[in-house]
Structure 1
Amino acid sequence: MAYQTIEGVRVWGTPDEGAMSQAITCAETGNVVQTLLMADHHKGYSQPIGGVVVYDGQLSPSGVGYDIGCGNKAVRTNLRADEIKPHIARIMEQIARKISFGVGRVNETKVDHDLFDDPDWAVYRTIGKQEHDKLKTLARDQLGTVGSGNHFVDLFEEAVTGRMWIANHFGSRGFGHKTASGFLNLAASRAFLGNAPGEKMDQPPVLLDIDSELGDMYYRAMRIAGRYAYAGRDYVMDQVLDILGAKADFEVHNHHNFAWKEKHDGRDRIVVRKGATPSAPGQWGFIGGSMGDISVIVKGKDSEENRDSFYSTVHGAGRIMSRTQAAGRMNWKTRERSGGQITAAQMQSAIRAYGVELRGAGTDESPFVYRKLQDVLNAHAETIEVMHVLRPIGVCMAGADEFDPYKD
């Protein structure tokens, strides 16, 4: 087996001390069947990113986190990358102008979607009319916006065929964030829209019984936020296809930051994956590297080790340097940073050397702050099969120094 077991936690890759401590706390709290760390793991809030916790009859809104249903959509187009490369600068400018990146952005074109007729919106109505109306308005306004942090729209060249791929990565935006904070408030007997003190990095997870009224309400609200994230990624992908004048002939769409009801060893379980991707046998997934590294399309294997992982794998390369370490500490009054280890010149040099046309992004998203994707893929070689290797040729993200409370 490629994993090791440390104090009952199954760990792929090299253990990170901070994430390991958080995983042990998760393993000791509630009706836990198994806790796992994927090879891209690092510290998160309460449950580590790259962490998986399998519960009997419970779920954790802090484990799912604030960017509910964050995920990736990738499509293979009918174009070859060689057709795009001569025009890549102009195309990336169009993407940066047409797609809404950044904090608090609203979509100038209001997007209608049948998810707004989902009967589970009644959950918010049960909480209160003000809460229902505020969140639904926010959701309508932000549908189709990308946000900042590690969220992106990228163009790729497939290594073997030269085919052109598009991928995006973002989640449920302000709607998901307020849903998460609202239910964490309710679990602590605070008002849904009240000011929350915020989670401490190493606090135990907040748990809800799935059969309780609050647990059922959260589960239904979480599913709406997941539908919302999928609708946003679909919309943005259609916008990029339109810019390119391209058609998609194959797509992969998957997510993390969610609680799944699944059967394992014939028993009903709830699997909370924060920054971890489902990898059931035959299930397709997209795993993104940094802006200066490969990304891959994968498929889950029918193997003993994949069963041991509760059909879970990495969602990306995983950070090895915090945002503050990389970019420095931001003074939001002067909008100046100080103390960062990575300079803009270093980042631009690395990206040019890799042949990427970059729009936006700060040094906290530079290639230097992430593991090499192949290293984490190697750790999971017995659980997933790499089907396509993609090399980025265009990367678009929010501009540097965007503060976004809705990031992954």
Structure 2
Amino acid sequence: MENKLPSAVESSLNTQGIQFNIYGRKQIEESALHQMYQAARLPISVAGALMPDAHHGYGLPIGGVLATKNAVIPYGVGVDIGCRMALSIFAVKGAVLNQKPGFFERILDEQTLFGSSKQFDRSPDHAVMDNRLFFEIPFLKYLHTRAWKQLGSSGSGNHFVEFGIVKIEEKDSTLGMPAGEWLGLLSHSGSRALGAKIAQHYTQLAISTRRLQGESKHLSWLYLEEEAGAEYWAAMNLAGDYSAACHELIHKKIAKAIGEKPVVAVQNHHNFAWKEIIHGEELIVHRKGATPAGENVLGIIPGSMAAPGYIVKGKGAASSLQSASHGAGRQMSRRAANESITRSAMKLALKEANVSLIGGGVDEAPQAYKNLEEVMACQTDLVSILGSFQPRMVKMDGH
């Protein structure tokens, strides 16, 4: 299969943008708002929303939700395609983390692999690596070996695997867990180099085709009837399946190491695009750093490495395009955090929260993130809370 691109045409933004709802406007930086207003002026835009954890990104802001007509924006999905949250809850009291901290910390360290360039010497087996797209799309062929060697690993940045305590106030039929404090394993990572290469490749095709000017070029799109658009859509879904497989292997390996099987599993992903019916019309809904929150759809909204996150159930709000925040959101850029937060200050915050950290840098310190309680207060119409997850032992990239 070869890319057959249409003739490049210089595109432009509409003078007037579509209307969209903003949640938690007071805590959203102006640059993120500007990016969303730019996206609203795309000729393909139909509906949108901005989540309360929003901050500046490439193309769509992180926390941006945009519905388009028959078109997909690679940077509206993001670089880490299908970035995922996965939670396993075990029928073991959470107090076990305080009783055997060394045991759980050692398992967390030994059974995970982090780093943007890291890969296993021996590739694990998984059906996702037999997907025909690896062999039908020329661009994906040379990514197959590296993707296989990174299967079951985690990236850098804000990716983590952590043990913590799942607190359920009262039994909920959705989770099927009794009230109490239970051992939980939470992971956050995406499609590794596979997703990044797909994003970069098809973004460049979109930019060269649409020829948008200035910063808006990062919002360049591909129509689904174009061969490049159809290819990207297929590759994006492959990256989403690959991300899910990574989490499956991470949780399976750690569960085996601790000698327990999870009784409840909750997962959701962001940095993705879905075909959904909006006002009776099929549209492409991009959620870049936004959690799907359709009616009764389960999700996880984490805090920082020291702050509790939440297990949530979507309310299917049309006003947010059935979306919610994907976390607390950054209140400092990585550069600002590195320049203003000391490692000793981060260690103190972790000590006060009774959290042990393996790896991680000050760019991911708790102080770099917004207050999740304030973020959640802005989206009570979007999700209901079923339980919480308090981190106790966190593994991230770094030394």
- TM-score of the superposed pair, with normalisation by structure 2: 0.88
Gap change, CA 1:349 and 1:222, over 3 Å in 2: same
Instruction: Provide the rounded CA distance (Å) in 1 between the counterparts of 2:136 and 2:340.
Output: 46
Number of the residue aligned with 1:321: 332
Name the SS for the 1:73 alignment partner: strand
Number of the residue aligned with 1:25: 38
Whichever residue aligns with residue 31 of structure 1, its letter is I
Whichever residue aligns with residue 144 of structure 2, its letter is K
Number of the residue aligned with 2:196: 177
The answer (yes or no) to whether the contact 1:77–1:247 under 8 Å persists in 2 is yes
Instruction: Provide the rounded CA distance (Å) in 2 between the counterparts of 1:269 and 1:387.
Output: 30
- Which of the residues 144, 154, 160 maps onto 1:136? 144
Deviation for aligned residue 1:204: 4.6
Deviation for aligned residue 1:200: 8.1
**Does residue 392 of the first structure (1) align with residue 391 of the second (2)?**
yes
The number of aligned residues is 367
Deviation for aligned residue 1:183: 1.2
- Which of the residues 227, 234, 249 maps onto 2:241? 227
Number of the residue aligned with 1:285: 299
> What does 1:2-401 align with in structure 2 at a 5 Å threshold?
8-13=19-24, 14=26, 15-125=28-138, 131-159=139-167, 160=169, 161-189=180-208, 203-302=217-316, 306-327=317-338, 340-399=339-398
Deviation for aligned residue 1:95: 1.4
Instruction: Provide the rounded CA distance (Å) in 2 between the counterparts of 1:89 and 1:52.
Output: 42
Per mean C-alpha deviation after superposition, the further-off stretch among 17-26 and 80-89 is 80-89
Instruction: Provide the rounded CA distance (Å) in 1 between the counterparts of 2:377 and 2:254.
Output: 32
The answer (yes or no) to whether the contact 1:144–1:235 under 8 Å persists in 2 is yes
The answer (yes or no) to whether the contact 1:25–1:204 under 8 Å persists in 2 is no
Deviation for aligned residue 1:93: 2.8
Whichever residue aligns with residue 265 of structure 2, its letter is E
1:17-42: per-residue Cα shift (whole Å, max 9, x none)?
01000001111013111121100000
Instruction: Provide the rounded CA distance (Å) in 2 between the counterparts of 1:177 and 1:204.
Output: 15
Deviation for aligned residue 1:391: 1.1
Deviation for aligned residue 1:264: 1.5
Whichever residue aligns with residue 91 of structure 1, its letter is F
Deviation for aligned residue 1:290: 0.1
Instruction: Provide the rounded CA distance (Å) in 2 between the counterparts of 1:110 and 1:226.
Output: 19
- TM-score of the superposed pair, with normalisation by structure 1: 0.86
Instruction: Provide the rounded CA distance (Å) in 2 between the counterparts of 1:17 and 1:152.
Output: 28
Instruction: Provide the rounded CA distance (Å) in 1 between the counterparts of 2:315 and 2:397.
Output: 35
Per mean C-alpha deviation after superposition, the further-off stretch among 113-122 and 149-158 is 113-122
Instruction: Provide the rounded CA distance (Å) in 2 between the counterparts of 1:54 and 1:104.
Output: 33
1:48-100: per-residue Cα shift (whole Å, max 9, x none)?
00001110111100111110000100011121111232222332133123211
Instruction: Provide the rounded CA distance (Å) in 1 between the counterparts of 2:41 and 2:350.
Output: 43
Name the SS for the 1:280 alignment partner: coil
Identify unmatched segments of 5+ residues in structure 1. 1-5, 126-130, 191-198, 328-339, 401-408
1:171-200: per-residue Cα shift (whole Å, max 9, x none)?
00001101111112333459xxxxxxxx98
Name the SS for the 1:85 alignment partner: helix
Instruction: Provide the rounded CA distance (Å) in 2 between the counterparts of 1:200 and 1:231.
Output: 37
Instruction: Provide the rounded CA distance (Å) in 2 between the counterparts of 1:200 and 1:69.
Output: 27
Instruction: Provide the rounded CA distance (Å) in 2 between the counterparts of 1:98 and 1:62.
Output: 32
The answer (yes or no) to whether the contact 2:48–2:321 under 8 Å persists in 1 is no
Instruction: Provide the rounded CA distance (Å) in 1 between the counterparts of 2:222 and 2:265.
Output: 35
Name the SS for the 2:52 alignment partner: strand
The answer (yes or no) to whether the contact 2:85–2:186 under 8 Å persists in 1 is yes
Whichever residue aligns with residue 322 of structure 1, its letter is S
Deviation for aligned residue 1:258: 0.6
Deviation for aligned residue 1:16: 2.0
Name the SS for the 2:188 alignment partner: strand
1:103-146: per-residue Cα shift (whole Å, max 9, x none)?
20002331121112223335523xxxxx3331111111111110
Among the aligned pairs, what percent are the same residue? 34
Whichever residue aligns with residue 383 of structure 2, its letter is I
Per mean C-alpha deviation after superposition, the further-off stretch among 90-99 and 233-242 is 90-99
Instruction: Provide the rounded CA distance (Å) in 1 between the counterparts of 2:302 and 2:366.
Output: 12
| Greater fraction of residues in strand | 1
Name the SS for the 1:52 alignment partner: strand
Q: What's the RMSD between the two structures over aligned residues?
A: 1.8
Deviation for aligned residue 1:7: 7.5
Gap change, CA 1:49 and 1:200, over 3 Å in 2: farther
